[in-house]
């Protein structure tokens, strides 16, 4: 039986780690999202996970999150051996994706993943569903209740394949609400926060802040706060908008 290659595929990645070192991955999981002939995106049957030997003991702090133990990864491949075949599968992908993708990108370097662009579903969720209370992967799961998400496949939480599976449903729905180019552009910028995240104005919409308050936030240490304040000031005509991202069509082709 010949299986037709989908027109476009995005591979969602999730990592579990042993610590904070550059090769401290102890598990990688993936879940593909594909575009059908009708142009709609869907979560495919292609998913999996591989345990990785991080080359050093797993910290107690991280074991308490994912429960992967040293004995489980003792005979597993090392990160640089296992990663390329997963990040660069034998069929073309138009993007890699992850929730708060900056974390995965610390380990999935261009040397391992090639020059494939990344989508951050955390940044995209704030653009597509700004009315939601918060935007963690698991909270989005229960706030949104994505259609077709099989509860048991998405468990246990904080393991690589189940988390990638949950993220893929957010990605699918975002892609069916906005274009791939928009998601890639949003992902290349700091996060556009729907509300002020901290401080005396915590929880307020940006349009409720005085201009001088927004101007003061342009020097905040958090790049997402600076970007969000600048975007609101630009909306008021008080400053130039954030620098636009370059066209992405060449990358996709």
pLDDT digits (tens, 9 = 90+) for 51-107: 999 999 999 999 999 999 999 999 999 999 999 999 999 999 999 999 999 999 999
- For the chain, the domain total comes to 2
Tokens representing residue 95 in the block: 């993007």
In a domain, residue 138? The reply is yes
Angle (deg, nearest 10), helices 121-128 and 137-144: 40
Q: Report pTM.
A: 0.91
In a domain, residue 1? The reply is no
Claim to verify: residue 179 and residue 55 sit in the same structural domain: yes
**Strands ordered across the beta sheet of 41-51:** 41-51, 25-35, 8-17, 95-98, 118-120
Claim to verify: residue 75 and residue 146 sit in the same structural domain: yes
Contact (Cβ atoms closer than 8 angstroms) between residue 184 and residue 121: no
Claim to verify: residue 178 and residue 242 sit in the same structural domain: no
Q: Which of 163, 161, 160, 119 lies closest to 139, judged by CA? A: 163
> Tens of pLDDT along 195-223?
999 999 999 999 999 999 999 999 999 99
Residue 218 to residue 121: CA distance in whole angstroms? 25
Claim to verify: residue 151 and residue 230 sit in the same structural domain: no
Is 159 strand, coil or helix? coil
Claim to verify: residue 150 and residue 234 sit in the same structural domain: no
Contact (Cβ atoms closer than 8 angstroms) between residue 154 and residue 160: no
> Tens of pLDDT along 150-179?
999 999 999 999 999 999 999 999 999 999
Q: Which of 159, 133, 205 lies closest to 66, judged by CA? A: 159
Angle (deg, nearest 10), helices 121-128 and 160-175: 40
Claim to verify: residue 31 and residue 96 sit in the same structural domain: yes
Contact (Cβ atoms closer than 8 angstroms) between residue 225 and residue 216: no
Claim to verify: residue 74 and residue 37 sit in the same structural domain: yes
Q: 113 is in which domain, residue-wise? A: 8-188
Claim to verify: residue 142 and residue 244 sit in the same structural domain: no
In a domain, residue 2? The reply is no
In a domain, residue 86? The reply is yes
């Amino acid at each position: 039986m010949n299986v037709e290659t989908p027109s476009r595929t995005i591979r969602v990645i999730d990592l579990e780690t042993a610590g904070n070192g550059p090769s401290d991955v102890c598990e990688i999981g993936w879940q593909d999202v594909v575009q059908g002939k009708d142009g709609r995106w869907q979560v495919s049957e292609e998913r999996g996970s591989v345990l990785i030997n991080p080359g050093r003991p797993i910290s107690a702090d991280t074991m308490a999150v994912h429960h992967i133990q040293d004995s489980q990864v003792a005979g597993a491949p090392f990160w640089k051996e296992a990663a390329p075949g997963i990040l660069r599968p034998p069929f073309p992908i138009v993007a890699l994706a992850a929730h708060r993708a900056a974390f995965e990108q610390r380990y999935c370097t261009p040397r391992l993943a090639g020059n494939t662009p990344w989508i951050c579903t955390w940044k995209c969720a704030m653009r597509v569903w700004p009315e939601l209370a918060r935007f963690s992967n698991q909270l989005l799961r229960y706030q949104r209740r994505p259609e077709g998400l099989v509860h048991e496949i998405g468990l246990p939480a904080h393991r690589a394949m189940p988390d990638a599976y949950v993220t893929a449903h957010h990605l699918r729905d975002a892609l069916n609400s906005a274009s791939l180019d928009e998601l890639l552009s949003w992902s290349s910028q700091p996060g556009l926060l729907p509300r002020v995240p901290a401080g005396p104005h915590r929880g307020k919409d940006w349009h409720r802040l005085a201009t001088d308050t927004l101007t003061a936030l342009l020097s905040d240490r958090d790049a997402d706060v600076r970007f969000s304040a600048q975007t609101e000031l630009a909306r008021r005509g008080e400053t130039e908008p954030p620098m636009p991202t370059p066209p992405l069509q060449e990358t996709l082709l």
